[in-house]
Chains A and B, each alone.
Chain A
């Protein structure tokens, strides 16, 4: 850059440019409407004048002498033949015109009022910005009501604004008469009036005359933005295509020129006025091409031009897409796939990507040999380097270096080597939509074969990722400060606990849960060989405990194996997911083995399932370990057990299939009976309704009552049918294991597959739309019975009839539409919430303050506790502490 940015910007001052300012900053007065001549050189004093900056690579700017990247462009100007209104200010101009005298331009308030208002404004200005703004409006309104100027006694007339930029004055012919004469106020008239406003009065009009004199809103000079702001593009066919802004400026200059010529030639008033108005139109659309009331200026193809306002506005505008959100280097994106052998802290990066992304490393005495090696390997072999930056700032591209040895030898401390990503580097990993902070976490690189990013399955919930084609982004922090920050604050293990509810968000899922159940349930034993296999490959390298069964063969129980991975000094008690919720809990003696107790890091009773190690579970074993022993231990635990589970599951085998939802004949008969009963009951209810003897529920009509009753009957029948099916599907059934332990699916899903799919609903009611008086032509008019309103009697196993299939599709479609609509509404809500709350931070004094240091809370959350460091919002788990202390005490004594 040619200029050096100041170190820090303290404040930004907004204001208007005066005509003189515009002339002063201008490097060229643009008078020619053309851009280039035949041989493609820019016409001097044209819109592409070389003095406006350069966009051609290799060419030097005629003003500053810099090349493309360095010259940021220079403004030119157009002298407007007549003053032109600025559209953006039309409301303000209207308000001002109404509030000032048409003769003397003083504000239409008495001296006393002026004094009083000025006092009030100076009182509120500093402390209560919003109040002073609303006061200005009050002043403007009050002044507009005055009919006679208190200063020069001139009679006032009504001002009308004809949108967007024409002002009329309704002059009364005499003081009492009702006859009004409508007179157009030309921009010149308006400018004259505004010019006469005194600086003192400006304050009352809500204008800071130091930065913006009121008359400057009527333009006499128009700045021409530098070419860098409106680059022309050359198409393949070497046809130049100009930017929308250039097109608009061409129009403005052309009309301006004609207007000037006509005025100078003394053309009739009418012609001048027409041209003036046309110029006004062009300038208006140059500023904003979406003004209501006038047609937008169009491109030759019919597309509306994208002028200044459109460039700034909205999601694709400058603000939201370039200023608040920025594009970055050192990033990559590809498809993700799972790898259970990675730690949760790791991410598998394809070698191809690792060779593109680099980290600048400064050469020191200590790493010089290592870096020389990397330079030798060059940009095409994996642990290599792409660039060298010498001390004087010269960049050497290693792709074009023939003799790598020479370059490597020339390396000396102070050089910077841009080396490839290698194992152990820290990177940021992200999946959109980034709804919470866990959507971007730091991982350690593990360079791998093939072309996808690999991640541990436990980090799927925070990213909300699956592997059906999801893609994720990866960013490489480029300096030590950023890397250190990522490592200490953003590493996946530091994000295990969710700040949303104070519990682990990263945890075991799906097959891990099934495996943990299979491993820790009663009666799971393994021989020495098996046990060794499992624990060695899971990273356990200490002694094996004594086997639980010694004779006839040494056997280790699953609980024993699991206990090896529990960190020491862990005590835990909870009910497992499979808990039957018996009215009286037998605790340790639970016959379903659902009461989990861990004492001194030994799993005494209970099976481990979703409740203990799953993500998003409150009061889990994982959460206990996390709080008591910290993130390192929790990560080790999670990495260890998940590896163990994978080994166990692949050893034991686990398959879900059609047979899982197969139920015996008698069960089918029972289900049929239940459904028959339900359908009969529905018919009876409908009959009762038809006869008008259906008892109305309070606050509902007969129809509503009927619908409610039928819904109740049918949903109940589905439930009982599901329960019947459930009776025949035992805990040895893989699908049931998954449902009950929380691995995947629910008993409801199973019931729908095995017994009966049940009532399909649209908008929370039975399906009723379609044909006149019926859902499908297969039914009688006015049919209200179960099948005609979307009750699916069959199960997925048995297969749906075409009609049932249709009804099911109706219900399914609603779900799809619902999600599509929901994402946009909730996204907007979140954007608003974030924008409103993003300045708020916790301060050193414990208060919570906004951007202006205004206090919002005296103590964060009334106790100053970080929810991410709590157990479900509880800052201190007193019971756990007392238990732990008492237990260690018992041990000591």
Chain B
């Protein structure tokens, strides 16, 4: 590779300016993508190149690119489906895996891939990566503070004991003050949340909270007790656990949460809204819109495949993601999404719930335009794909007429 430097520098080498111009001229039709031309310019600048060589290289690049273009009629959909489906057989079925930095389990492998293409509303292990803003990201304590705002704290999490005083018919909550302060709360906060919107008397005595719900029966009291124990004091209901990790490269603290509540997490002060990420694709589409959902589907799919050491071209994944999101909402791959909404009755019937589709089509007087693949396979015609998509338009009779006319004129 280092041969360029050894060659004798007797020739005139082109300047970066001419390179730029030549490349722009070569790509006047905009065929090559921007990043490719940029890379080309950069790499050409590193070498010593004569003008003649430059033209040869550019011609070469262009023709190589032309040769690699997709051919019209290619069944790109099937190729994408196969390219994603085939490695599925090689994936592990193990549901759980430790996800990189965070020390909790995240669904991986085949189950996760199915979850993504299914566009599930409730994935099995949702999580959020919360990046912090300038103020909070370098300080552990400040990061902890943000984490506390996110993580759900219930009364039982800070209480060492919750019991019933039978003589008084009250509930006594013994608060572990260390835990409480660790969560950034004080005892009055707890008392407040308990009394809020309830007809109870709450008294604070040292680390004890006496709650008198004025109940008659023990049964009711016990019901209140469980209610109080599970009462959220702070944080977001869906987020069971958070964990703070230090990014070894950037030296900043990142909070990982188990469970998601994307909208609410975005509003927590200290959170960097521009970098926050969740693996919950559906929540992303709800809050950030369809483009973001498309990107999330792509990103998640790549992550799953990469972790399994499987190599799938980005183009296939983007095609699937694009198909799922073209209509402006996330659609599932399967009976409740794309396959169930096909225009063709036969295509729908051949997938799942055959009879229902046929009967419904009868009532609505549907007609099948036979534009798709399955339909044409069913009726036994050429499929409109690949070599089958090409028709020869010729009127043999006309041709014969012309020929005979020609012959006639010749004989004249």
Using CB atoms and an 8 Å cutoff, list the residues of chain A in contact with chain B. 8-16, 88-89, 92, 129-130, 206-208, 210-212, 217, 288, 309, 312-314, 317, 319-320, 323-324, 435-437, 485, 489, 499-503, 573, 618, 697-700, 763-764, 818, 821-823, 825-827, 829-830, 832-844, 848, 850-857, 860-867, 869-870, 872-873, 875-879, 881-887, 889-890
Q: In whole angstroms, what is the CA distance A618 to B371 when docked?
A: 39
Q: Spot the interface stretch: B37-45, B225-233, B246-254.
A: B37-45
User: B370, A319: Cβ atoms under 8 Å?
Assistant: no
Looking at the complex, which one of B57, B312, B385 makes contact with A841 (CB distance below 8 Å)? B385
Cβ of B213 under 8 Å from chain A: no
Contacts of A15 in B (CB 8 A): 362, 365
Cβ of B75 under 8 Å from chain A: yes
User: B81, A830: Cβ atoms under 8 Å?
Assistant: yes
User: B91, A869: Cβ atoms under 8 Å?
Assistant: no
List 27 interface pairs A-B (beta carbons < 8 Å), by A numbering: A13-B368, A15-B365, A207-B364, A210-B365, A324-B374, A436-B82, A436-B86, A700-B103, A822-B110, A826-B110, A832-B333, A836-B337, A838-B81, A840-B77, A843-B72, A851-B344, A852-B369, A853-B371, A869-B69, A873-B315, A876-B64, A876-B68, A878-B40, A878-B61, A882-B43, A884-B60, A886-B53
Q: In whole angstroms, what is the CA distance A244 to B3 when docked?
A: 81
Q: What 14 new A-B contacts, CB under 8 Å, besides A210-B365, A834-B78?
A: A13-B365, A14-B362, A288-B355, A500-B313, A832-B339, A836-B339, A841-B73, A850-B323, A862-B33, A864-B70, A866-B70, A869-B68, A869-B69, A885-B56
User: A211, B82: Cβ atoms under 8 Å?
Assistant: no
Contacts of B387 in A (CB 8 A): 485, 489
User: B365, A873: Cβ atoms under 8 Å?
Assistant: no
Contacts of A314 in B (CB 8 A): 354
User: A324, B377: Cβ atoms under 8 Å?
Assistant: yes
User: A829, B241: Cβ atoms under 8 Å?
Assistant: no
Cβ of B114 under 8 Å from chain A: yes
User: A857, B81: Cβ atoms under 8 Å?
Assistant: no
User: B68, A837: Cβ atoms under 8 Å?
Assistant: no
Contacts of A827 in B (CB 8 A): 89
Q: A829-B114, A851-B342 are in contact. Are A861 and B315 (CB under 8 A)?
A: yes
Q: In whole angstroms, what is the CA distance A174 to B372 when docked?
A: 56
Q: In whole angstroms, what is the CA distance A18 to B235 when docked?
A: 64
* Minimum C-beta distance from B305 to chain A (A): 10
Q: A206-B363, A500-B86, A825-B110 are in contact. Are A312 and B323 (CB under 8 A)?
A: no
* Minimum C-beta distance from B185 to chain A (A): 20
Q: A12-B346, A886-B4 are in contact. Are A876 and B315 (CB under 8 A)?
A: no
Contacts of B36 in A (CB 8 A): 863, 875-876, 878
Q: A829-B117, A833-B84 are in contact. Are A14 and B320 (CB under 8 A)?
A: no
User: A500, B316: Cβ atoms under 8 Å?
Assistant: yes
Using CB atoms and an 8 Å cutoff, list the residues of chain B in contact with chain A. 1, 3-4, 7, 32-33, 36, 39-40, 43-44, 47, 49-50, 52-53, 56-57, 60-61, 64-65, 67-89, 91-94, 96, 103-104, 110-111, 113-114, 117, 241, 243, 311-316, 318-320, 322-323, 326, 333-335, 337-339, 341-347, 349-351, 354-356, 358-375, 377-379, 381, 384-387, 389
Q: For residue A16, which residue of chain B has the nearest CB?
A: B362
Contacts of B359 in A (CB 8 A): 88-89
User: B350, A866: Cβ atoms under 8 Å?
Assistant: no
* Minimum C-beta distance from A123 to chain B (A): 17
Q: For residue A883, which residue of chain B has the nearest CB?
A: B1
User: A825, B61: Cβ atoms under 8 Å?
Assistant: no
User: B53, A885: Cβ atoms under 8 Å?
Assistant: yes
Looking at the complex, which one of A309, A837, A876 makes contact with B81 (CB distance below 8 Å)? A837
Looking at the complex, which one of B117, B243, B323, B351 makes contact with A699 (CB distance below 8 Å)? B243
Q: In whole angstroms, what is the CA distance A435 to B79 when docked?
A: 10
Looking at the complex, which one of B89, B349, B386 makes contact with A319 (CB distance below 8 Å)? B349
User: B339, A835: Cβ atoms under 8 Å?
Assistant: yes
User: A11, B369: Cβ atoms under 8 Å?
Assistant: yes
User: A890, B3: Cβ atoms under 8 Å?
Assistant: yes
Q: A317-B354, A833-B81 are in contact. Are A14 and B366 (CB under 8 A)?
A: yes
Looking at the complex, which one of A129, A865, A889 makes contact with B69 (CB distance below 8 Å)? A865
Q: In whole angstroms, what is the CA distance A20 to B370 when docked?
A: 29
User: A14, B365: Cβ atoms under 8 Å?
Assistant: yes
Q: For residue A837, which residue of chain B has the nearest CB?
A: B77
Contacts of B57 in A (CB 8 A): 881-882, 885
User: B40, A826: Cβ atoms under 8 Å?
Assistant: no
* Minimum C-beta distance from B81 to chain A (A): 4
Q: For residue A872, which residue of chain B has the nearest CB?
A: B311
Contacts of A502 in B (CB 8 A): 313
